[in-house]
Copies of this chain bind each other. A is one copy, B any other.
Amino acid sequence: MNAEIITIGDEILLGQIVDTNSAWIAQYLGEADIAIRCITSIADRREDISKALLEASSRSDIVIVTGGLGPTKDDVTKDTISQFFKSPFIRNQHVLDHVKQLFVRMGRGEMPISNYAQADVLECAEVLFNDVGTAPGMWIERDNNRFAFLPGVPFEMKFLMEKRVMPRLMAMRSNVHVYHSHILTAGLGESFLAEQIADIEASLPHYIKLAYLPKIGLVRLRLSARGTDVNLLETETENFANRISERLKKYVVAKEDISLEEAIIKNFSESHLKIAFAESCTGGTIASNLTKYAGASKVFDCGIVAYANPIKQGVLGVRENTLDEFGAVSEQTVIEMAKGVQRVSGAEYGVATSGIAGPTGGTPEKPVGTVWIAVAGKNEIVTKKFQFNNSRQINIERSTMQALVLLWNLYVKELV
């Protein structure tokens, strides 16, 4: 079984809202082994709506349509789908009673006649009763296709997907299953990884696919298997995932679908280790990235954003001599910053950054994008110089990710 999503309405096409509904539906159906083949966003325009419905039904078994049917929308969508299914809209008394009741319950008084149209559904449709809102959904079976029309309001859409659509999909499902396995790696580029596991990749059976999903300093590997024998899929996929993990051993951060930050929080808290940050050019971004995730407080007590030299000296104890002789953007300075924040916080690991994020502040010796990173661990200090040459925000983002990668690498090294 495969499915398509069509969203109708202007907000997405104007960029006023990000289409999170489609991602939610895709993930929700994906977990039930129903793959999304296409997502289409269109406006309330007759020609585009009928073309999209036609295309989708020619390609996919299930067509999920969100939006376009609210009470204040003009009648283009209703008209078009009525023509498409050659079926008129009729008023549903059960829905009308519900909508009237909701109106009263919300303290909005007697419902105006203009709202009665919310209870209109296609004659050929089964009503997907919407307990949590006024707009009903519709389920239509036509030839080999199943259509679900749903409101665009996220929580109403989710309610209808879970309570009304999924049971209908389950009743018609074939026995095809999908199984995913993820490996997060750090420290080796996409093409180098691919070279290292070329023989394993070549030996994958046709029903298992390998995808490389790279992101600054990291590459995520995803194995996806499809078939009818769910035990075989799991066993075989995990078998290949293990072979790949074994081969890439020292580059593997996690054997699950998590971020580097989550892997750091998980591993450091299990090892009872704390991290502290002394950030200059990244200005709090490393601390902020870690804080996003629940559990950060278990591994992270303290961060110092030492943007100015007096703070580097006063709070972190960087020596005036070091700043005078080598400058703020230097290996010597980040080493003293990393040690300084270890001392101030009592954390086992200290991470420091200093660089020229841009757009100004560069010199011939230290152009914009020059960044020094130091990680002080339990026994060792590692440093690395990067030469980015991007925009300010990208330089900060890359420095942040690279600092976390260096932290991870030293953690792994000192674990042994």
Q: Hey, which bits of chain A sit against chain B, CB under 8 A?
A: 10-20, 22-28, 30, 35-43, 45, 48, 51, 55, 59, 70-72, 105-108, 112, 114-115, 132, 155, 159, 189-192, 194-195, 211-214, 277, 279, 282-288, 290-294, 296-297, 300-308, 310-311, 314-315, 344-346, 357-361, 384, 386-387, 389-394, 396-397
Interfacial chain B residues near A108, Cβ < 8 Å = 189
Do residues A18 and B13 form an inter-chain contact, with CB atoms below 8 A? Answer: no
Do residues B27 and A14 form an inter-chain contact, with CB atoms below 8 A? Answer: yes
Do residues B42 and A27 form an inter-chain contact, with CB atoms below 8 A? Answer: no
Do residues B307 and A305 form an inter-chain contact, with CB atoms below 8 A? Answer: no
Minimum CB–CB distance for A100 against chain B, Å: 13
Interfacial chain B residues near A277, Cβ < 8 Å = 284, 305
Do residues B311 and A307 form an inter-chain contact, with CB atoms below 8 A? Answer: no
Do residues B41 and A39 form an inter-chain contact, with CB atoms below 8 A? Answer: yes
Interfacial chain B residues near A359, Cβ < 8 Å = 294
For the complex, what is the distance from the CA of A114 to the CA of B17, rounded to whole Å? Answer: 39
For the complex, what is the distance from the CA of A55 to the CA of B302, rounded to whole Å? Answer: 55
Interfacial chain B residues near A212, Cβ < 8 Å = 72
Minimum CB–CB distance for A329 against chain B, Å: 13
Do residues B40 and A38 form an inter-chain contact, with CB atoms below 8 A? Answer: yes
Minimum CB–CB distance for A60 against chain B, Å: 10
Interfacial chain B residues near A297, Cβ < 8 Å = 307-308, 361
Cβ contact of A35, chosen from B13, B35, B310, B314, cutoff 8 A: B13
Given contacts A283-B303, A302-B305, A315-B302, contact A13 B42 (CB under 8 A): no
Do residues A304 and B305 form an inter-chain contact, with CB atoms below 8 A? Answer: yes
Interfacial chain B residues near A293, Cβ < 8 Å = 392
Of all chain B residues, the one with the shortest Cβ separation from A38 is B42
Interfacial chain B residues near A115, Cβ < 8 Å = 191
Of all chain B residues, the one with the shortest Cβ separation from A10 is B211
Do residues B15 and A30 form an inter-chain contact, with CB atoms below 8 A? Answer: yes
For the complex, what is the distance from the CA of A14 to the CA of B59, rounded to whole Å? Answer: 17
Minimum CB–CB distance for A301 against chain B, Å: 4
Interfacial chain B residues near A112, Cβ < 8 Å = 191-192, 195
Of all chain B residues, the one with the shortest Cβ separation from A393 is B292
Do residues B315 and A307 form an inter-chain contact, with CB atoms below 8 A? Answer: no
Minimum CB–CB distance for A17 against chain B, Å: 7
Interfacial chain B residues near A194, Cβ < 8 Å = 72, 114
Do residues B392 and A294 form an inter-chain contact, with CB atoms below 8 A? Answer: yes
Given contacts A296-B283, A302-B305, A311-B345, contact A37 B13 (CB under 8 A): yes
Given contacts A14-B36, A105-B387, A391-B155, contact A287 B291 (CB under 8 A): no
